[in-house]
Every structure is written in structure tokens, then in C-alpha cells.
Chains A and B, each alone.
Chain A
């Protein structure tokens, strides 16, 4: 555990390192950032213990995994799509882990294999993404997820024995991470690594290209950039994250009934991603952890009495986000930070959430910008 504690700050720091020019070493911004970084690091490291009053660290483990799933959904926002197949991809990750563990593979081999194994399915979904957009793509992924759950998980493989059973061997956690607390550090480390990769990708020219692709696919392609390649890359990235999340989910739970992988759950995770801010890395992590862990803590606090409330409250939060902060937690967080820092407000907020190509308002604005015909008469 101590090694993890030493490692975690260094994982954090590249993401936190301020890229803006520093004028004076001790201005308000630097101080705030140092304090924030310290508090955040301390919080991330002690989170299982901070929350012990409310429930076991298990809830947090669960939240971090949901954070990964939501990150996977959110990443797809970069190409302006949303997927309902993440849950199916999770399921495949779980199956792969089960197979590999039965074959006696160690953890360090399992995870890379899981990542590789996600690629064929991502490519299958990617083929749809090349042909379909927005809602249509979502429906395609929905149909895929539905088939995966019903046909693959339930009927053939009977993942963990169908409905909550024990037909096949339970998935075990990697050696050294048996406890919920220690497993948390593995999960949090993985999530931070994923977030870091996503953040770096988004900051690189790939991210710029994806923004351009989202803004105008036609212009993007006539400029000689292949939208397909970028879409495929993003879908593979998203799929790999979801699949690894599924693998961890299997390790966390040991036994997972196949009815867990129902597409309706993907709708829920999409809701989380929206609340976090579609396309945002940090927002997705926070939303995932919060919406994943809070209901679990709530379960233990209410001792099984106030069940089913979580969905209602997530619905309320999502509605509030859509109405007042379409950018999600990411946008709210940015606003708060700017106020704290005292820096000028950011450029006019453009919602990163654009799933639909059919946008009458935008079209009307564009049409209004053109002159009516007949001027040449």
C-alpha cells in the first residue's frame, strides 16, 4: 500500500502540471493550484478511509469502475457519437478475464490481452460508426448490446451461470489486491492512467483532429483526413477502456449475472456521462465515481431500506444539468475554478455534446446567414 501511496502523486502530477506561463512564482493561481493538488492527492489516497463511515471501500471500487465506463462513453463524445454498447463490451472483458484466469494467466498478462481482445468488437462497432451517425449509431449499438446480452452472455456462455449463479469459476482479484482498500488503489491507479492517456490524446493533434471532425466531417474529409480512421481510433480507445472496466468489474464482483449486462444500463451510464460533461475526461471520472459509489454507500447507510432512490435522483441531477449546465460537471467545475482563481472567464462555452446531425436551429442560423436569392435580378 505504501508503494501505491508513493506512486500515485507522480501519476497525478503530469496531469496537474500547469501548462500556462508562470509570471511570478507565488501568485494566487500557483498557490491555489498547489493547495488544490495537495488536497486532491490526499483525498484520492485516503478516500476509502474517509468514506468508511458510510460504507465499505467496496462502494468506492465500484464507483471507480463506473468512472472507467463513463469515461469510455464520454470519450466517444469526441466524435460526437454516443454508444449503448459499453455494457456489452464490459461483458466481453469479463468473459476474457474469466477464460484467462481459468487458464492460469497472471494479472500482468491478462490486462494487455483484455485490451487486445476489445479491438475486434470495437472494429465491428466502428464499421457501423462509419455508416451511421448520432441516434442511428446509438440504435445500432443498442441492437448489438441487446444481442450480446441475450444471445452471447445469457444463452451460450451463461456468464457466471446466467442469472446470478455459480456455474463457472468465480473471477478472483489479482494477488496483493484482495482487500477492497488495496484493490481501490489498483483501480484508481488504472483510472488515472486511462484518464491521463485520454487527456494526452485529447491534447495532442489527434484531439484537435477529432474536434475538427466533429465540427464538420465533410470539411475534414475533403481536406484529406480520413474520418474513418479517427472514428475507429476513438471507438477502439473507448472500447478498450470499457473492456478493461469490465475486466475489473469481474475481479471486483467475482460472480456477475448475465442480466447485469442489459442495454438499459448503458442508457444509465450515458446519463452519467452527460452529467459529467460529454467529451470531458475529468467530468466523466468524477461523475462515474460519484454516481457509482454514492448509491452503494446509500445502500449500506439505509440498511437496504431506501432502495431504488438512486435512479430517481440521478434523473433529477441529469435533468438539472441539461437545463442549467449543458456542459455538465466539467463546465460547472471550470466555472468554479475560474472564480476561485480569479482568472477571466473562459471562451464562450461551446457544448461538446453534439450527438445529432439534424439540428434545425443551427441549420436555420446557417440559412439565415445566407442571402435570399433573387438579388441578381
Chain B
């Protein structure tokens, strides 16, 4: 019996081997996949102009390099062969300037895996061209040959593969978003603003002739999945840097990992405290601790909050939120009477409310996503209960979906945000909105979309200031000394080495009735967190 068992394993694995060999061998297939996915990414964009950003463009130019890499990874020591075979496989399919690149790669491998070790000197290839077909091998290793038909303002790249993930005409950037999972229905918006900014950078000519090749992954708001994706991006895709990851559950564990691998992460969400401990992570939004400080102070001073109950998602940031709130409210002679952790499958909101009622709570603060928060509010409404100062919560609530979900029951809810609120309508906000909605018109502008946008802006600016010599170390050093970066969305951002708490500003918004709808309206801010640690 068992002998048969071993044989069946045998057969299945054999079949699997054949199938995977058939697929793995096809570089063209991989290139096609790549292009296709890039195109999908670009479909949201209202591609402006003939030479403007289009996913297919970036994908086509990136494809041969990857195909070459895929082949040479397997072949190990013969990058030349790998690159040339990829050229022949990919150029008819992709129809771009790939042939030129691959021929240069024969002399000096321009593949991702080789690029890191070759240190960036040597072969150059043509600059970024948009959909321009060049005959195979004709341009050769001519450095900086300008290609006709390139996008306006696109300089030719001189610099080549200066670091991992950087080629003559592209920079690989990793982005991890929340596209599924418990907060998936609104979590995807978190990515879009940052991605819109990156696309805008590409459309306006890229980074000194290099296009940003943004690789996107999903973490389902789960650090495990996020780290899987991060490892894949770093170890297999060989990205240059991470940009604007707005998922706290991934950004937290990613911080030590980024330090270990010396990979810059520009524009982290900053919600979790661990992110401020990393040398290579640059958070742009404020921490949940700062939110708790400011909320507690505001509610104690303006609303006279004395007896507070907190319900929080049971993760380190949630616990830090409770602790921070408690510290500040005590300064105003208030207290956190009790706190209760919540999980997605079993929020326990009913008993939380019952307990709040019996404990004579005047303020309920939350560290929740809009989903559980909605449950909380609905449960409270069903029990005909509302604390004196209504509900309040961390920036996780500051979505337009929250008032939509809670309806009239959520009226009076105060949420923290780290940037100007939507109804403030500052020029900076309008500029931000214009860029984002050009690519993603239906986005729900929240704390995190603005954070992502700022992160992407900083990333783009820093990269541009590096010139052609793009390396991780130089990028880190540049951002480390960033001073007073104009975000236009409230606080300006400054980093200094060892001090990455760039944003300590909180705005508060409240759900108020406007007509028959409910919306978040500005009520206070900017409040600068005087209790924040200085690291």
C-alpha cells in the first residue's frame, strides 16, 4: 500500500516537472505576462498624450531584462547566453528597444542579478524610448544614444546599472498594498495615491531618463503575507527600494528587514512605532501614539472626557494606542476605565458596549478599521446607547466610507488625521487631488492616500536629486538629510539621521451632517504632539 503511495508521488511530481519546465523555459511567455500585468496597472490611468505614461511602455522595456534574468538565474554562469536568448524571444513580442539592450548585455550583462555585482560601470544602453522598434543589435553599446520619439523632457540615461534594481532606463520600485483581506474593500485606495504620484513622475519624464518600474503586491493587511511579498520583491525581483507602503502590518516587520538588507523604504505609513527605529525606513505619516496623545488632549480639554473606554485591534500598535491615550488623559485627571481587544472574526463589540454603559463611560475611543467600527456603532445604536462624547478614533477611521457605513449613528465621531482634511481645500490639497484623480478618479481620500502621495513625492524628488548615480546608500543619505520638504498638505517633512519622526502633526475631523449626508469636517489642527518621543 505504502509502496504504491511512493509511486504515486513519483508520477505526480514528474508531471509537475514537465509542466513547469515547459513554462519556465518560455521567456517570451514571462515577458508577455509581465507586459500584460503592467498594462492592467495602466488601465486605470487616463493615459495622457501619445508618449505619456503607459504601462505597456514601461513593461515592454522592462520585460527583456527580466526575461534575461530569469534565464540566467537558471543557467547560473552564462548571462550572455541568457540575455541574447531573451532578446530573441522578447523582441518580436514586445516590439521595443530590447534588442539593443540585449546585445549590449552580451558584453556586459544588464540583467538584474548581474547588475548588483557589476557595480554600475561599463556598458550603457539607449535611453528610455516609448514603443520604438529598433533593429536587433543595431545600436549596440553606444552610450546615451538619444532615441527619437521619446516622451518630452525625457533625458537620456547615462549611468546604467548603478545598483540593484537600477538599469540604464528603469528603476525597480516595490510597493505593497492592501487589496484584499479584512480591510480590502477600502484598503486598495491606500495605494492608489502613491501609485498615481509615481505614474505622474514617469509621465513627466521619469527620473533623469529612467522610468520607475513599480512592482505591486498585496498583503491583505497581514504582516505574514506582506513579508512574503517583500521577500519576493527583494530576493527575486531585486527591487531597488520600497516606496509608500501604507499597511502598518507590513511596514512594521519590514523595518528590521529593510535595515538588514539595506533597502530604503521611503514613505512608510508610520502608524506603528517600530517603524521609527529603522535607519532605512522613512515614515511620513504620524504614529498612532501621536494620534492618541492629541485625541486624548483634545477630548479632555474640549469635551471634558473623564472616563474613557478603548476598543482596539489587538496588535502592538493598538496596544501602544491604549497606553498613549491613558498617559495623556491622566494628565487631565481622566482615566481609561477599561480597554478591550477586538479581532476581525469576533469583534466582541456587544459586550464592550454593555460594559461601557454599566461603567458610566463618557468617551469611547477606538483603534479600529471602519468595518469593526461600523459594527460597534451599529451595536450601540441597537442598544440605544451613545456615550456623551460619542466615539473617537485613530486615523484608521478617517475614510469617507466610515460615515457612509455608520449613517446617522456615527454622528459626532472624531477621527485623527495627519494631513489637512478634505474639506479644508487648501491649494496643496487641490494640487494633490488633481494628480491623484487624474489616474484614480474614484478614490476615497484619507490620511493614508495623502501619506502615500507625500512618500512618493519625496521618493521622486530624492531620486531626481541623485542624478544618474542612483544607489541605495545615496538615496538613504539624501532622504536622511531632507529638510522642510513642502508637502502642501499640512506639515512639512524633515528627516535627520537617526531621527525619522518627521510628522507629529494631527488634524481632527468630526462626522457631521451635511444635508442628508454625513461627512468628516475639520474641527481642530494642526496640533503638534508635544508628548512624542524624540527619536
Contact = CB atoms under 8 A, between A and B. Distances in A.
Answer whether A and B are interacting partners: yes
Interface of A: 15-16, 19-20, 36-37, 39-40, 42-44, 47, 49-59, 62, 150, 154-155, 158, 161-167, 170, 179-180, 195, 199-200, 202-203, 207, 211, 253-257, 259-260, 262, 277, 280-283, 285-286, 290, 296, 299-305, 307-308, 329-334, 336-337, 340, 346
A282 B217 contact: no
B231 A58 contact: yes
Contacts of A329: 8, 12
Interface string B189-220: 00000000000000000000000000111111
Interface stretch (B19-27, B115-123, B163-171): B19-27
Nearest 9 pairs between A and B by C-beta?
A282-B9, A304-B218, A333-B8, A43-B17, A164-B223, A165-B316, A307-B180, A56-B236, A163-B315
B463 to A, nearest CB: 22
B232 A334 contact: no
Contacts of B236: 52, 55-58, 300
Interface string B231-257: 110011100000000000100110011
23 contacts: A40-B17, A43-B13, A43-B17, A47-B20, A51-B20, A58-B232, A154-B314, A162-B314, A166-B272, A180-B231, A203-B2, A203-B3, A254-B253, A255-B227, A282-B10, A296-B228, A303-B215, A304-B219, A305-B218, A331-B8, A332-B12, A333-B8, A337-B7
A150 B1 CA distance: 40
Contact of B249 (A164, A277, A300): A164
Contact of B7 (A50, A154, A207, A334): A334
A214 to B, nearest CB: 12
A333 B253 contact: no
Contact of A304 (B216, B313, B318): B216
Contacts of A20: 3
Nearest to B37: A303
A55 B24 CA distance: 11
Nearest to B6: A15
B431 interface: no
B333 interface: no
Contacts of B30: 53
Contact of B315 (A16, A155, A165, A305): A165
Nearest to A163: B315
A305 B179 contact: yes
A180 B3 CA distance: 31
Contact of B229 (A161, A202, A300, A331): A300
A164 B222 contact: yes
Interface stretch (B127-135, B338-346, B448-456): B338-346
B186 to A, nearest CB: 15
Contacts of A15: 6
Interface in B1-51: 1-18, 20-21, 23-24, 29-30, 33, 37, 40-41
Contacts of B225: 299
B179 A161 contact: no
Contacts of A299: 217-218, 225, 228-229
Contact of A199 (B2, B40, B70, B226): B2
Contact of B5 (A164, A179, A180, A282): A282
B317 interface: yes
Interface of B: 1-18, 20-21, 23-24, 29-30, 33, 37, 40-41, 70, 73-74, 176-177, 179-181, 184, 215-229, 231-232, 235-237, 249, 252-253, 256-257, 272, 274, 313-319, 341, 343-346
Nearest to B7: A337
A231 B226 CA distance: 39
Contacts of B33: 301
Contacts of B229: 299-300, 304
Nearest to B217: A304
A49 B74 contact: yes
Contacts of B177: 304
A255 B274 CA distance: 14
B9 A333 contact: yes
Given A302-B37, A303-B216, 10 more contacts: A56-B237, A59-B228, A163-B315, A207-B2, A253-B224, A281-B2, A281-B9, A282-B9, A299-B225, A300-B236
B8 A164 contact: no
A44 B10 CA distance: 10
A52 B73 contact: yes
A72 to B, nearest CB: 16
Given A53-B70, A255-B253, A307-B218, A333 B315 contact: no
User: Of B3, B315, B317, which is in contact with the most chain A CB atoms at under 10 Å from its CB?
Assistant: B315
Contacts of A40: 10, 13-14, 17
Contacts of A254: 227, 253, 257
Contacts of B224: 164, 253, 255-257, 260
B343 A259 contact: yes
A289 to B, nearest CB: 9
Contacts of A211: 1
Contacts of B13: 40, 43-44, 286
A15 to B, nearest CB: 5
A216 to B, nearest CB: 18
Contacts of A42: 17
B2 A50 contact: no
Given A39-B14, A161-B315, A164-B249, A330 B341 contact: no
B253 A262 contact: no
A36 B11 contact: yes
A333 B218 contact: no
Contacts of B5: 199, 202, 280-283, 330
Contact of A307 (B29, B220, B237, B319): B220
A162 B342 CA distance: 11
A43 B6 contact: no
Contacts of A52: 24, 70, 73-74, 236
Given A165-B315, A255-B223, A56 B235 contact: yes
Contacts of A164: 221-224, 226, 249, 252-253, 315
Nearest to A341: B7
B216 A337 contact: no
Contacts of A163: 249, 313-315, 318, 343
B305 to A, nearest CB: 26
Contacts of B318: 162-163
Nearest to B344: A259
B28 to A, nearest CB: 11
User: Of B225, B237, B272, which is in contact with the most chain A CB atoms at under 10 Å from its CB?
Assistant: B225
A43 B225 CA distance: 27
Given A42-B17, A286-B13, A257 B74 contact: no
Given A53-B70, A304-B217, A337 B313 contact: no
Contacts of A179: 235
Contacts of B313: 163
A201 to B, nearest CB: 9
Contacts of A50: 17, 20-21, 24, 74
Nearest to B40: A305
A165 B223 contact: yes
A195 B10 CA distance: 13
A257 B223 contact: yes
Contact of A166 (B16, B17, B184, B252): B252
Nearest to B316: A165
Given A42-B17, A300-B229, A165 B252 contact: yes
User: Of A49, A195, A300, A340, which is in contact with the most chain B CB atoms at under 10 Å from its CB?
Assistant: A300
A300 B5 CA distance: 32
